[in-house]
Structure 1
Amino acid sequence: MRAITYDRYGGADVLQLSDLPVPKVGPDSVLVRVRAASVNPVDWKVRQGYLDQVLDVDFPAVPGWDVAGVVERVGLDTPELSVGDEVYGYVRKDWLQGGTFAEFVAAPVRTLARKPASLSFEEAAALPLTGLTAYQTIERSGLAAGQTVLVHAASGGVGSAAVQIAAARGARVIGTASERNHDFVRELGAEPVAYGDGLADRVRALAPDGVDVVLDYVGGDAVATAPQVLRPGGTVVSIVDAAARDELGGVYAWVRPSSADLDALTRLVEDGALRVHVDQVFDLADAADAHRASESGHVRGKVVVRV
């Protein structure tokens, strides 16, 4: 099968199109014929070696955790899925080697769910990691209807999902974004505010009593400024900065695969409460360019690779 591989840490130029054997399928896994995958910042951070102390990487590694495709073969005990099912998922295993930037991927059933019928394969591939991150961080924040939440990086992959999920829960949403993305953030259901100096004052102008929850999907000063915008008893959740937990008593989160949570995202999609924005689509052979596009930091939504 065709697959993108890299045999050492480095820049996007270490990615190459290779020919690999079709992966074996374990008892609780299925073989997915990949129709699309997507790029997340963690993909190129792993490729650059930034997470070497966290994740085992077996070279040559196939990158990618997001997938949308069709079940090609089932394992010995996978009653949840059948051959021909259209699925999507966040196929993170305990080590990184056989990723989703390939024609086939062996995926544990716990990482998959049936694809939302209303989404294309490209749109479905853009949702799992970002959607699960948004959903799980909102769950852990305890955000309730009628509360106010500040979403950092509201126009990005995770942030754009979080805005919509929070709004669907009946929360008021304020979202940080660059000026060029303010209209996009409004369309998602948030009140946009600009990054930079004076952010706390701009947030307080919109929410004089402070916000109930801060969701940090960007890092930088987001956690450091949280006490200036949170009302007493408020919560900060970060996927970037452990200070949210260690210094502010909030939550430091790492997304987990979950079929049940993917099903929850599917319900939001089918109810019209969650839409997916695909910024760019690349062919598999151009995966290095897809990584470069994600690394640029100017993506609205997600970068997708079509297989």
Structure 2
Amino acid sequence: MRAVVVRSFGGPEALELVELPIPAPGPGQVRIRVRAAAVNPVDAFVRSGAATEVGLVPARDQYGLGWDVAGEVDAVGAGEAGAPGRAPDGNTAGTKGFAVGDPVIGLSDRLDLPSAGYAEYLVLDASSVAPAPRGVPFEAAASLPLNALTAAQALDRLGLSAGQTVLVTGAAGAVGGYAVELAREAGLRVVGSASAADEELVRGFGASGFVPREAELGAAARALVPGGVDGVLDAAVVGVRALDAVRGGGAFVSVVLGGAPPALRGIRVSTVYVRADGERLAELAKLVEAGRLTPRVADTFPLDKAPAAHQRLSEGPLRGRLILLP
């Protein structure tokens, strides 16, 4: 199979298209014929060598890239608890209800892999996979797993209740846009922060208040919510600039390692590290089907143009995800 990997760290030119053996699924796993794979900032973090420098990824000869994929189940390993599965030789039955040909989405949340989502085939634990949203192209579905799960798990970490207020920074971005919509679904009042040009977009996601990212975030948010918001979901990683928007004893969640500010005024400060969760991903896919969660694709590239996709990623803000099409 064709796959894009990194064998020496660097810029977009460090990405290599190579031929690798097609992986076989083990017990409790499925193999996906990848039709679309999202390009995320974490991929550039690995490609550059920064993930190895900070100790998140051990040194190795080859690194796979790509966390979220959409495609069809191509093979199913032996089922759980001794149930038969569909192996690469074509035997019947399935794991966790998946069968060959099923359209699915999945998240590969392991950094230390020689091949990952930027490939024609990917093996995942069945618990990391969910049915793809019906009626949605694979390229749009591939933008869901990493970003929507990050938003959902960050909102969980905030622990807010219906009627409370959350400030979402980066509210026009991939994680932030999903966060605004999911917060609205949870009955929260949402104040979104993004470029002034994106106000209409952010309000369309469900934000009742808007603060331009160029503004003094604390003062601007408190002008809308006297006393301060109950929590901040910091998708733009502005850190301490958004902390003043939070009331004393509120909550602050960052989505990037090292992005959390000091825990001042009794504010609960934490960082969310996304984890694969097929059941939660299935719930998010249902929201997409219902039109209550909005996948966005900025552009698509063939697999062999992965360096061009990474170059575009480095050039500035995107309203949606770049997608590779193996």
**What is the TM-score when the length of structure 2 is the normalising length?**
0.88
Which residue of structure 2 aligns with residue 216 of structure 1? 234
Offset of residue 60 of structure 1: 2.5
1:125 matches 2:127: no
C-alpha contact (below 8 Å) 2:217/2:244 kept by paired residues = no
Residue 275 of structure 1: which of 281, 294, 297 is its match?
A: 294
Write the mapping of 1:41-56 to structure 2, written as runs, cut at 5 A: 41-52=41-52, 53-56=55-58
Over 3 Å counting, the alpha-carbon distance change for 1:244 and 1:264 in structure 2 is farther
Structure 2 spans left out of the alignment, 5+ residues: 80-94
Write the mapping of 1:36-75 to structure 2, written as runs, cut at 5 A: 36-52=36-52, 53-56=55-58, 58-75=60-77
Offset of residue 57 of structure 1: 5.7
Which residue of structure 2 aligns with residue 30 of structure 1? 30
Which residue of structure 2 aligns with residue 254 of structure 1? 273
For 1:271, the aligned partner's letter is A
Instruction: Output one character per residue of 1:58-89: Cα deviation in whole Å (capped at 9) or x when no partner.
Output: 43323101100001111112243111111101
Offset of residue 267 of structure 1: 2.4
Q: How far apart are the structure 2 equivalents of 1:85 and 1:56?
A: 34
Offset of residue 129 of structure 1: 0.2
After the TM superposition, which parts of structure 1 deviate over 6 Å for at least 4 consecutive aligned residues?
A: none
Offset of residue 37 of structure 1: 0.3
C-alpha contact (below 8 Å) 1:38/1:305 kept by paired residues = yes
For 2:137, the aligned partner's letter is S
C-alpha contact (below 8 Å) 2:217/2:242 kept by paired residues = no
3-state secondary structure, aligned to 2:179:
helix
3-state secondary structure, aligned to 1:119:
coil
Offset of residue 165 of structure 1: 0.3
Which residue of structure 1 aligns with residue 21 of structure 2? 21
1:264 matches 2:289: no
Write the mapping of 1:95-134 to structure 2, written as runs, cut at 5 A: 95-134=112-151
What is the RMSD computed on CA atoms of the aligned residues? 1.7
Which residue of structure 2 aligns with residue 225 of structure 1? 241
3-state secondary structure, aligned to 2:62:
strand
Which residue of structure 1 aligns with residue 82 of structure 2? none
C-alpha contact (below 8 Å) 2:253/2:260 kept by paired residues = no
Q: Which stretch has the larger CA shift, 159-168 or 87-96?
A: 87-96
For 1:145, the aligned partner's letter is A
Offset of residue 103 of structure 1: 0.8
C-alpha contact (below 8 Å) 2:43/2:65 kept by paired residues = yes
Write the mapping of 1:161-200 to structure 2, written as runs, cut at 5 A: 161-190=178-207, 191-200=209-218
Q: Which stretch has the larger CA shift, 11-20 or 158-167?
A: 11-20
Count of residues in Structure 1 that have an aligned counterpart in Structure 2? 305
Q: Which stretch has the larger CA shift, 158-167 or 239-248?
A: 239-248
Structure 1 spans left out of the alignment, 5+ residues: none
Offset of residue 197 of structure 1: 4.8
Instruction: Output one character per residue of 1:79-128: Cα deviation in whole Å (capped at 9) or x when no partner.
Output: 43111111101112362222111111111112111111132101110110
Residue 88 of structure 1: which of 102, 105, 112 is its match?
A: 105
C-alpha contact (below 8 Å) 1:237/1:244 kept by paired residues = no
Which residue of structure 2 aligns with residue 287 of structure 1? 306
Q: How far apart are the structure 1 equivalents of 2:42 and 2:187?
A: 30
Over 3 Å counting, the alpha-carbon distance change for 1:87 and 1:57 in structure 2 is farther
Q: How far apart are the structure 2 equivalents of 1:268 and 1:79?
A: 21
For 2:252, the aligned partner's letter is V
Percent of residue pairs bearing the same amino acid type: 40
Which residue of structure 2 aligns with residue 296 of structure 1? 315
Q: How far apart are the structure 2 equivalents of 1:169 and 1:95?
A: 35
Over 3 Å counting, the alpha-carbon distance change for 1:90 and 1:245 in structure 2 is farther
**What is the TM-score when the length of structure 1 is the normalising length?**
0.94
Offset of residue 16 of structure 1: 2.1
